[in-house]
Amino acid sequence: MLNQWFLIGALALVTYLSRVIGLEFMSRWKMNPTLRLYFNYVPIAIIAALLVKQIVLPFHGGLTLSIPVLLSCIGTAVMILLTKRFLPSVIVGVVIGVLFRYFFS
């Protein structure tokens, strides 16, 4: 619990600093366009990495593919491409994974 409050405080601080530093100081510099692009690609890389870490899990020193998680992701991806709606897509993805678990494992 104390750890959670510490994390919240630290996250709040680093996030606010990134906002206020950009606003107050970075505006005076002409930022390199390459650096701009780099900053924009970072979230894509992190989200993709987190996704893979959830689909492929460590297992007895090796790696194992979680089929329900994979199906859940594919279902969500297809749904959001078709409907462009976040929450229904997530729910459909979860339901697909749950159904697979229920019937096949």
Partner 1 sequence: MLHRKKSALKTAGAEALPLAIAIAAYGMSYGVLATQVNFTLLTTVAMSVFVFSGSAQLVAVAMLAGGAGTASVLLTVILLNLRNLLYGAALSEGLAPAKKWTRLLAFGISDEPFVLASARFKKVGPDPFYFAVVAGIFYIAWILAALFGALIGNQLDPQKWGLDLAFPATFAALLVPGLKGKPVIGTALAAVILTLVMEFIKPGNELTIIMIGLLAPLVGLYLHRRGRTHA
User: What residues numbered 4-63 form the site for partner 1, per CB under 8 A?
Assistant: 4-12, 14-16, 18-24, 26-27, 29, 31, 34, 36-56, 58, 61-63
Size of site (CB under 8 A) for partner 1: 73
- Residue 45 CB, shortest distance to partner 1, in Å, is 4
List Cβ<8 Å contacts ≥24 apart for 68-74.
68/97, 68/98, 68/100, 68/101, 68/105, 69/97, 71/96, 71/97, 71/100, 72/96, 72/97
C-alpha closest to that of 95 among 83, 74, 82, 81: 74
- Residue 103 CB, shortest distance to partner 1, in Å, is 13
- Residue 71 CB, shortest distance to partner 1, in Å, is 9
Site mask, partner 1, residues 61-100, x = CB under 8 A? Answer: xxx----xx--xxxxxx--xx--xxxx-xx--xxx-xx--
